[in-house]
Amino acid sequence: MAEIQLKNVSKRWGSFVGVDNFNLTIADREFLVLLGPSGCGKTTTMRMIAGLEDPSGGEIRIDGRVVNDLEPKDRDVAMVFQSYALYPNMNVYENIRFPLRVRGTDPSEHEARVMRASAMVELDDFLHRKPAELSGGQRQRVALARAIVREPNVFLMDEPLSNLDAKLRVSTRAQIKNLSHELSVTTIYVTHDQIEAMTLADRVVVMEKGIVQQVGSPTEIYDRPANTFVASFIGNPAMNLLEGEIRDGTFRCEATEIDGLDAPDGPVTLGFRAEDSEVSATDGQITAPIYTLELLGDATMVAVRLGGALVTAKTDKSFRARIGETISIRIPRDHCHLFDAHTGKRLG
């Protein structure tokens, strides 16, 4: 059992705030992903939980016990980093066994535990190889097995897939998902990759500039982004955002008009996703020449330019048109997201 509580946790270096007032309870066995752009404070938050960084303020509890003053080795957390730091002179078996030796675990347990951990990451056939004789994906799996073998209360993973090529990233991601299901251990996973976050997480914490922007399930943050930062960070392509004004339920901006909206009068930012819009010949709310076309295999992404911004729409894979040809994009009003024009916060 390992519930983790963060209460007003902050990290400052001089006047620079790396993490600002982080508050969250991470449930026992939850898979929590910290997501955000480079420098938003994800790694610092995780390092404070691990005990590798002292908070400047606030309280961290693991299972109700304040751990602020506990050494990393006394917190019962195992970390996996993007650089896997294996011992080059030890073979896979010895690398996986290493934490058991360091912690003085009963030697009679070692073999069974190493075999169990290596089987979980499908390394049974590689136990005698040295790290130099492994692929990047296999090395990362040794690092995972080395964390698993400890049977910790908490896993902390910092971008464990970022050194792998695209294909290996997908297969190792699936393996981590499967492992987390099997092991059922509280896990905190740091990434800047929204697909990783969406596929792995029970809940995602979206951060920017040290501040938590939204906490929710992958579906919640995708379907109801709390602000324009989350709206544009989650989803590929980014949500289309148009600055304009609502009068009597009609949104107007330079490029378009959308009526039938249930919102008070005033300036707003209106958002809609490419996959919620439709491309037609004439009857959309936005009519403009095609700026670019991308064939994705299962669909086609079409973009038009409105002022300085690109507006994208997803359409059928059989869609055929040329750059410069005029198209019309229909925005279904029940798929519009409205945000405060000044604060960026979701309305309604």
Residue 50 Cβ, how far from ligand ATP at the closest point, in Å?
12
Residue 192 or 224 with smaller CB distance to ligand ATP: 192
Q: Which residue is nearest to ligand ATP (CB)?
A: 43
Min CB(40)–ligand ATP separation in Å? 4
Residue whose entry in the numeric block shows the structure tokens 């249930």: 262
Question: Which of 233, 151, 158 is CA-nearest to residue 189?
Answer: 158
Instruction: Tally DSSP H helices, then E strands, for the chain.
Output: 8, 20
Cβ proximity to ligand ATP: between 41 and 284 the closer is 41
Note the residues at the interface with ligand ATP (CB under 6 A): 13, 16, 18, 36, 38-44, 192
What is the layout of strands, in order, in the sheet containing 309-315?
278-280, 326-330, 286-295, 300-306, 309-315
* Smaller CB separation from ligand ATP, 36 or 131: 36
Main-chain dihedrals φ then ψ at residue 56, nearest 5 degrees: -85, -20
Q: How far is the CB of 36 from ligand ATP (least distance, A)?
A: 6
Q: Min. distance of Cβ 77 from ligand ATP in angstroms?
A: 17
Nearer to ligand ATP, 54 or 133 (CB): 54
DSSP annotation of 265: S
Q: Give the integer Cα–Cα distance in Å for 207 and 227.
A: 12
**Cβ at position 42, least distance to ligand ATP in Å:** 4
- Return the number of the residue (43 or 213) whose C-beta is nearest ligand ATP: 43
60's CB contacts (< 8 A; 6+ apart) are 4, 5, 6, 7, 9, 48, 49, 66, 67, 68
